[in-house]
Amino acid sequence: MKKLILVAAIGVSCSLQAQKGCTDPQASNYNAMAKENDGSCFYKSTSAAPEKLCKRISDSLTESSGLMLYNNWFWSHNDSGNPPEIMAFDSIGGQVLHTIYIANAPNNDWEDMTQDDQHIYIGDFGNNGGSRTDLSILKIKKSDLNFSVKRDTVVCSFIRFSMGDQKDFTDNFITTDYDMEAMVFAGDSLHLFSKNWNDKMSRHYVCPTDTGRFVLYPVETLNVGGQISGATINSNGVLALIGYTKPYYPCFTWVMWDHKNLRFNTGNRRKIDLGNTLFPGQIEGVCYRNTTLYISNENKVATQSLLKLQTAKWMDLNPNNSVEDTFINRTSISFKSGFLTVNSIDISKGMILLIYDLNGKKVFNAEFNTIETEQTERFDLSALPKGIYIVKCERVVLDKISID
């Protein structure tokens, strides 16, 4: 009886997956043989000094806690105790260009902002003591904004939530692991990142964009080594988290890319040290334009300013490393009783299946005969001797197989 397994000695069961490892040539543990990134890359210590783009943002934004690019303007807001407003400002002189007043939402502790095509979202979820039970996200329709005046007023709807893993709501000022200051929109959801004052981790929650009330549970925990104060994600899915680490507050950004299904532990994660509270200051707001990171800071020790940092040089952005929505992800293969079965929404009549041994010699080829309404094709491999083989379909390597 034949058996298909990964890199092992045709028996009884089937197991098949691409060779995994670190696929980033810049990483210390780069594996040139790896075809699928498994999130294991690690890097040498990296530091950079952001460039100061705007030396002083308007004094109306001394506590800039979120940052966003919309309508070709930078937008920000202050945090707790300030008016419920978001402001667009000039990125060179720092002057306020437009103010939006949210009439039905106090600024309890606004900490981050993000957007999709139709809405702006503001995170009223700052929770330095871990005692809040009224966490929410404000949802503003972009169609309600009036740019013909310098100041306009809107009303918002609310997304209310709680962290389902939090059981203790005792007030523990800056010693709680249930603070939150970072949020991005990606896929069809909002992604929230906790600010853990004790264990220096960050839990990743996924929240619907629908109005209503939700109980959220973490989908992963990121080892960030500090307190996360802001987040952004670009159109290529590159996530950046910014923050600092108490007690001395050195500042950093984490850049995360080449991940699967917006689970950031599955991809590359690189930390870049940025300085301290003297420079660049207590960084709180962050947004991406392509691969350029823009960062704002509160007026604490350092004057509130706008900084920029180019991140592309630290990332292997080879499109061959893309892991989302690829032919391989949409295709599964299995081996049983001498037959290789290929199942994919992409296969059609005229495609070619090729099998090579490890010396590169082609030992099998066959044409797919499947009509387009079907998704499965079976190939008889019973004549092949035991060994390790590479399966290809058109120009895409599907996997390595072992026949015993």
Of 291, 315, 339, at which residue does a domain stop? 315
Residue type, 145: L
**Structural domain that includes position 260:** 55-315
pLDDT tens-digit map of 105-128: 999 999 999 999 999 999 999 999
Are both 92 and 218 inside the same structural domain? yes
- Which of 171-185, 309-323, 342-356 is the most confident on average? 171-185
Of 253, 282, 315, at which residue does a domain stop? 315
Are both 347 and 238 inside the same structural domain? no
Q: Which two tokens stand for residue 310?
A: 């180019």
pLDDT tens-digit map of 297-347: 999 989 999 999 999 999 865 544 333 334 555 567 778 888 888 876 556
Are both 156 and 12 inside the same structural domain? no
Q: CA 55: distance to chain centroid?
A: 29
Q: How many Å is the maximal CA-CA distance in the chain?
A: 77
Are both 90 and 226 inside the same structural domain? yes
Cβ atoms of residues 189 and 120 within 8 Å: no
**pLDDT score of 316:** 64
Please check the confidence at residue 41 and state whether its pLDDT lies above 60. yes
Answer whether residue 46 is part of any domain.
Answer: no
Of 289, 315, 341, at which residue does a domain stop? 315
> How many separate domains does the chain show?
2
Please tell me the distance from the alpha carbon of residue 119 to that of residue 90, in angstroms, as a whole number. Answer: 22
pLDDT tens-digit map of 49-106: 999 999 999 999 999 999 999 999 999 999 999 999 999 999 999 999 999 999 999 9
Please tell me the distance from the alpha carbon of residue 253 to that of residue 232, in angstroms, as a whole number. Answer: 11
| Residue where the block lists tokens 């004094």 | 59
Please tell me the distance from the alpha carbon of residue 395 to that of residue 354, in angstroms, as a whole number. Answer: 10
Are both 301 and 333 inside the same structural domain? no
pTM across the whole model: 0.75
Residue type, 118: Q
CATH label of the domain that carries residue 195: 2.120.10.30
Answer whether residue 28 is part of any domain.
Answer: no
**pLDDT score of 365:** 86
Please tell me the distance from the alpha carbon of residue 200 to that of residue 241, in angstroms, as a whole number. Answer: 13
